[in-house]
Chain A
Amino acid sequence: MDTLTWGQIITRILWQLLPVWGALVVTFGLSIAFKRRLGLYGRIFDSTVGMIGFALVMFWVFTAFFADLIITHDPYSQVSGMKNILPGSPVKNVKDGVYQWYLLGGDHLARDVFSRAIMGAREVLIIAPFATVVAFMVGITLGLPAGYLGGKLDVGLSFGSNLVLAFPVILLFYLLVTPSVQESAIPTTFAAILFLFPIVFMTLLLNARYFTNKTQRNLYVGIVLVVGLWAYSGLAFNADPLGVWSMSPNILNVFVSVVFVNSPGVFRIVRGMVMDIKTRDYVAAGQTRGEGIWYIMLWEILPNARGPLIVDFCLRIGYTTILLGTLGFFGLGVAPDSPDWGSTINYGRRLLAIAPHPAVVPALALMSLVLGLNLLADGLREESLKD
């Protein structure tokens, strides 16, 4: 069997990604058709930059979603004779029903680089957005009262957040994501504190809105508490009675550290914006009406700070992706055979001089995802400034 040319490799990769193209076309078609009714999301499609960014991001989201259909080989299986082999090489001793080429070559353990890069997208896209969401809830829940009430609370929380921000990120990772820390109670304690914030946030949010209508309030807050505490018991303590929610100690450790590093940044932004917005007339009007402080903070101030927060959310997912890559690059907190991009780059970098493809493929993948998120943030910023 012959080695594939670059033209054939590219054609075949585009063909493998067919489900992604389909999903992208459907998403863009529907979104552009209804863009006037979709609010800020629809306005992404008014800006070229925003559209390119959105396309890149959605490309990776769909890739992660359809990863099982796209991959040509099992990302963990090793085929003898394929070590560091060049892109487009035919698989030796091919069995029936197995794809006959390594599209982007083999890595140092003779695994398929293409399939691993595709599966790596799943690893990143499961952790990064959720870690960012939790970081945002922590930052918002602490930043709102710090900015609105000020005083000693603000001084204390600001000192704490500056403490984390002054810490070199890599040193923090080396301290928090190590086997000896994993054995101790530190990650669980951190998780117990950090995962409480989403529940507190949702409870406060719904309670402040519906406290006048007791039945409705009890229903919503009840649902949040039941689902939240159920997930909480599983995620933080790995003690879910039904076994639906769980997180491996490795992932929990990584997740918690990434949230911990990200939330002070969110806290600072929220606090700054609250200090600006709280001087507005509509806040004074709410105070005069006798609204509770959580209602004013969560339903008067927060919605008016959403523009910059959405932009920062996009940028921060990108930053989290970079952080996850950094963790993988230093071999912290990931299983040795994990296909995530950071650790693949780490293993590939040692052989860069002779076989660059195992490191370059995940490097470019990671870069394009972060680039997409940055472009999307730029587009959103432009569009939200047009008001």
Chain B
Amino acid sequence: MVVFVLRRVGIILLTALTLSFIVFALTNLPSSLGKLAKAEGSVRMSDEEVQRWLDENGFGGSTVWRYGEWLGLAPGWTHTDEAGVTRGRCIEAVKTSQTPDAEVATYCGILQGYWGFSTVFKQPVSEVMARSLGATGWLMFWVMAVMVPTSLVLGVLAGMREGSRTDRVLSGVAIVTTATPEYVSGVVLIAVLASATAGVSPVLAEWGWISGKTLFPGTATSAMDDITFMNFFLPVMTIALYGIGYIARMTRASMTEVMTQQYIRTARLKGVSFRQVVMKHALRNALIAPFTVIMLQFPWLLNGVVISETLFNYKGFGWTLVQAAGNNDINTLLGCTVVAVFVVLVTQLISDIGYVFLNPRIRLA
């Protein structure tokens, strides 16, 4: 077990390393660097001036070398201009750190805890990430809190009696929601619940049931300071809807399989009530498969988070990622990649380990 976990951790580190290098290489393409130079310097720079700006600001060396700087394996760049002022990666790192008299180190990268400086947000990346991950954490928490219980209950109810009317109705609902990507469900939810001209809001306003123009607000910006049911319901539902259908279908499949097992029939023939059979005999075995599915939903949730945060203008991880990618903010993008890849791989690891604990028949070598 320990060997298995250690091997997996090794693979995770290798994957994160490879992927961060790919992102580094793709964001450091010559044309993007040229654009960056013109954005930071001046728009009318000639090619030589662009090249000089790049050399003076630490974009001069080879991609591999600069990746080493970012990691903290290669010494950070320094440049002394004509006036004798020395600037450099590690000097900036000291400037942005909170301790006033920290020593200027030669190495400053991820390994030393320095994530770089964001060109879009004009803030150290670590601060940007901490703020946005905090915001997204709440979003994820409420998505999980809505999605997991709902989907499990729906799945168990549908799978309890295969082919019954409940089953067919719930399976129909589940298949419709799995065909609804977040940008569709978000748009439909806003149109129905948060539009002043369509859906239910005009009717409710006419009847005097709601004070404002719309039932729900169309943005979740206010949720950054204070999360309420009103401003968080739509973004959470937008993400949760797709997952509910998917997990419910998996739970249903697992439940129907368990319900055809011999021990369920035996229990029924012994005269145990249907309720007891479902609650005591079937449920626990039926919930093993959905556990894995829920853990493996995380990568997809990440997608949902990006779309929902863009749609509702909620400044979390997904919003930050879109801003960073749209403006080629290299350091922030790399930070986002590392975080996203770790979330995906760690949830995979947890699902594998959890599976062993839930299902005693599985042994890891």
- Chain A residues near B341: list those with CB within 8 A: 166-168
- Chain A residues near B68: list those with CB within 8 A: none
Interface residues of A in 293-344 (CB under 8 A from B): 318, 322, 325-326, 329-330, 342
B214 touches A168 (CB 8 A): no
Closest chain B residue to A170 by CB distance?
A: B306
A184 touches B178 (CB 8 A): no
Interface residues of B in 266-309 (CB under 8 A from A): 299, 302-303, 306-307
B31 touches A349 (CB 8 A): no
- How many angstroms between the C-alpha atoms of A167 and B218 in the bound complex? 30
Mostly helix, strand, loop or mixed at chain B's interface?
helix
B340 touches A374 (CB 8 A): no
B32 touches A180 (CB 8 A): yes
A354 touches B29 (CB 8 A): no
B303 touches A170 (CB 8 A): yes
- Chain B residues near A354: list those with CB within 8 A: 195-197
- How many angstroms between the C-alpha atoms of A166 and B198 in the bound complex? 40
A371 at the interface (CB under 8 A from B): yes
B184 touches A163 (CB 8 A): no
- How many angstroms between the C-alpha atoms of A184 and B310 in the bound complex? 28
B223 at the interface (CB under 8 A from A): no
B29 touches A325 (CB 8 A): no
B325 touches A371 (CB 8 A): no
- Chain A interface size, as a band, is 35 or more
A149 at the interface (CB under 8 A from B): no
B356 at the interface (CB under 8 A from A): no
B259 at the interface (CB under 8 A from A): no
Mostly helix, strand, loop or mixed at chain A's interface?
helix
B344 at the interface (CB under 8 A from A): yes
B88 at the interface (CB under 8 A from A): no
A345 touches B187 (CB 8 A): yes
A342 touches B321 (CB 8 A): no
A251 at the interface (CB under 8 A from B): no
The residue from A178, A183, A345 contacting B183, defined by CB atoms under 8 A apart: A345
- Chain B residues near A353: list those with CB within 8 A: 190, 194-197, 214, 218
- Chain B interface size, as a band, is 35 or more
- How many angstroms between the C-alpha atoms of A174 and B175 in the bound complex? 29
- How many angstroms between the C-alpha atoms of A375 and B175 in the bound complex? 8
B15-23, B90-98, B357-365: which lies at the A interface?
A: B15-23
B188 at the interface (CB under 8 A from A): yes
The residue from A162, A170, A318 contacting B321, defined by CB atoms under 8 A apart: A170
- Chain B residues near A378: list those with CB within 8 A: 175
B181 touches A374 (CB 8 A): no
A125 at the interface (CB under 8 A from B): no
Closest chain A residue to B12 by CB distance?
A: A166
The residue from A166, A184, A326, A366 contacting B29, defined by CB atoms under 8 A apart: A184
A349 touches B321 (CB 8 A): no
B179 at the interface (CB under 8 A from A): yes
- How many angstroms between the C-alpha atoms of A366 and B187 in the bound complex? 12
B198 touches A356 (CB 8 A): yes
Write the nearest CB–CB distance from B214 to chain A, whole angstroms.
7
Write the nearest CB–CB distance from B204 to chain A, whole angstroms.
15
- How many angstroms between the C-alpha atoms of A371 and B245 in the bound complex? 12
- How many angstroms between the C-alpha atoms of A368 and B191 in the bound complex? 17
A169 at the interface (CB under 8 A from B): yes
- How many angstroms between the C-alpha atoms of A165 and B303 in the bound complex? 13
Provide the A347-383 mask, 1 if CB < 8 A to any CB of B, else 0: 0110011111101100110110011011100100000
- How many angstroms between the C-alpha atoms of A374 and B328 in the bound complex? 37
A171 at the interface (CB under 8 A from B): yes
The residue from A168, A183, A367 contacting B344, defined by CB atoms under 8 A apart: A168
Known: A167-B341, A175-B23, A375-B175. A359 touches B31 (CB 8 A): no
The residue from A159, A168, A178, A322 contacting B299, defined by CB atoms under 8 A apart: A168
Known: A184-B31, A366-B181. A355 touches B19 (CB 8 A): no
A25 at the interface (CB under 8 A from B): no
B322 at the interface (CB under 8 A from A): yes
A284 at the interface (CB under 8 A from B): no
A227 at the interface (CB under 8 A from B): no
- Chain B residues near A175: list those with CB within 8 A: 23, 26-27, 325
The residue from A159, A329, A356, A366 contacting B190, defined by CB atoms under 8 A apart: A356
A326 touches B26 (CB 8 A): no
Known: A326-B307, A353-B194, A353-B218. A163 touches B179 (CB 8 A): no
Write the nearest CB–CB distance from B10 to chain A, whole angstroms.
12
The residue from B19, B194, B303 contacting A163, defined by CB atoms under 8 A apart: B19
A10 at the interface (CB under 8 A from B): no
A171 touches B194 (CB 8 A): no
Provide the A182-210 mask, 1 if CB < 8 A to any CB of B, else 0: 01101000000000000000000000000
- Chain A residues near B197: list those with CB within 8 A: 353-356
A326 touches B179 (CB 8 A): no
- How many angstroms between the C-alpha atoms of A357 and B190 in the bound complex? 11
Write the nearest CB–CB distance from B248 to chain A, whole angstroms.
14
A363 touches B187 (CB 8 A): yes
Interface residues of B in 171-204 (CB under 8 A from A): 175-176, 178-181, 183-184, 186-188, 190-191, 194-199
A174 touches B325 (CB 8 A): yes
- How many angstroms between the C-alpha atoms of A178 and B26 in the bound complex? 10
Closest chain B residue to A182 by CB distance?
A: B31
A181 at the interface (CB under 8 A from B): yes
Closest chain A residue to B342 by CB distance?
A: A166
Write the nearest CB–CB distance from B64 to chain A, whole angstroms.
18
A183 touches B27 (CB 8 A): no
- Chain A residues near B35: list those with CB within 8 A: 180
Known: A170-B321, A352-B190, A352-B191. A367 touches B18 (CB 8 A): no
Closest chain A residue to B26 by CB distance?
A: A175
- Chain A residues near B178: list those with CB within 8 A: 374
B215 at the interface (CB under 8 A from A): no
A367 touches B23 (CB 8 A): no
A and B contact pairs by CB, cutoff 8 A, 21 listed: A163-B18, A166-B299, A168-B302, A171-B23, A186-B26, A318-B179, A325-B183, A348-B187, A349-B186, A349-B187, A349-B190, A352-B187, A352-B194, A353-B194, A353-B197, A355-B197, A356-B199, A359-B187, A360-B187, A360-B198, A363-B184
10 closest A-B pairs (Cβ-Cβ)?
A174-B325, A356-B191, A371-B179, A370-B179, A180-B31, A363-B184, A322-B181, A168-B340, A175-B26, A180-B32
